[in-house]
């Protein structure tokens, strides 16, 4: 009777210990395979999210550029999710930053573009030494607009 009862259980009930062990090993291998820089990327993105003045200041400088006005019209404010979709890297002592975020204008919504910002902290204010907007799509309009290059 014990044999008949053992056979009547479902496959996953009979093999659940092995499933847990294999799942645990696969999870550990997945975590181990992640780049060691993932932690830093999460921390840097969170830091940039709490300091929106970096992107806002760069956007204000970009709005004054004539070529940007011609192509984009008025640049839209950088959204909260743009930082998570972009790329953020702080220096080890957090006094310089490189940020890439998506930007859009009100003139042509089909343009897909990114703004690259390189800045350093000086006397508790951000000083920008490079700002550029790269138009990615459509391909035939691919262009890099230099805004600030010190």
Output the domain CATH number for residue 87: 3.10.450
Domain residue limits at 104: 38-149
CA distance 150 to 134: 18
If asked whether residues 9 and 63 sit together in one domain, one would say no
CA distance 91 to 127: 15
Mean pLDDT of 71-85: 85
**pLDDT reading at 1 higher than 80:** no
- Beta bridge mates, 116: 100, 132
pLDDT score, position 93: 86
If asked whether residues 73 and 52 sit together in one domain, one would say yes
Mean pLDDT, the chain, whole residue set: 85
Mean pLDDT of 57-67: 92
If asked whether residues 43 and 26 sit together in one domain, one would say no
If asked whether residues 85 and 20 sit together in one domain, one would say no
If asked whether residues 79 and 120 sit together in one domain, one would say yes
Phi, psi of 16 (to 5 degrees): -65, -35
Give the global pTM. 0.72
pLDDT one-digit tens code per residue, 12-29:
777 888 889 999 999 998
If asked whether residues 145 and 117 sit together in one domain, one would say yes
Q: How many domains in the chain?
A: 2
């Amino acid at each position: 009777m014990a044999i008949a009862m053992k056979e009547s259980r479902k496959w996953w009930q009979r093999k659940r210990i092995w499933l847990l062990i294999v799942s645990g090993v696969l999870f550990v291998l997945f975590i181990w395979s992640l780049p060691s820089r993932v932690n830093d990327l999460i921390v840097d993105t969170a830091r940039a999210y709490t300091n929106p003045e970096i992107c806002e200041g760069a956007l204000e400088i970009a709005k004054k550029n004539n070529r940007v006005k011609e192509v984009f019209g008025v640049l839209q404010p950088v959204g909260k999710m743009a930082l998570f979709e972009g790329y953020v890297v702080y220096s080890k002592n957090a006094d310089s930053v490189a940020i890439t975020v998506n930007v859009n204008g009100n003139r042509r919504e089909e343009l897909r573009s990114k703004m690259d910002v390189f800045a350093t902290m000086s006397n508790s204010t951000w000083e920008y030494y490079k700002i550029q907007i790269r138009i990615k799509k459509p391909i035939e309009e691919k262009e890099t607009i230099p805004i600030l290059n010190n």
